[in-house]
Amino acid sequence: MPTVAIKTSLAANGQASVLTGSQYEYAPWNAYVEFAIQADATGVLATINTGSDVIQEEAPVQLGTINVQPKYPDDFFQNDMVRAGERIKVALRDTSGATRVVQTVVRLTPL
């Protein structure tokens, strides 16, 4: 089961699409996908989409120790089933006016 762990330096008032360019931006097979997102301080919002499904509208992400990956299963709050070829998108946006570090972990379990 692949796990994609990405640390993003999010510029002040910046935006990022975390999986853009990743091998897993598009699901290679049908899968159960799980998401964990943690930021080093408040003010980071995340939107999660898979294919045409909105998994999470823009909402605050949890705070975490930025040098420690989110723990499974405790920190994985969102999940969905995806079909082969569906886009998996995690969009981040900073509202704090300061540079933030965000850790995103996406777990895919083939079906």
Domain that holds residue 81: 3-110
pLDDT above 90 for 1? no
Other Cβ atoms closer than 10 A to 39: 25
Domain count of the fold of the chain: 1
DSSP letter assigned to residue 26: B
Tell me the CATH number at 61: 2.60.120.510
Task: For residue range 17-43, list pLDDT tens digits in order.
Answer: 999 999 999 999 999 999 999 999 999
How many angstroms separate the CA atoms of 17 and 92, rounded? Answer: 6
Task: For residue range 38-71, list pLDDT tens digits in order.
Answer: 999 999 999 999 999 999 999 999 999 888 889 9
How many angstroms separate the CA atoms of 37 and 106, rounded? Answer: 9
Phi, psi of 32 (to 5 degrees): -95, 120
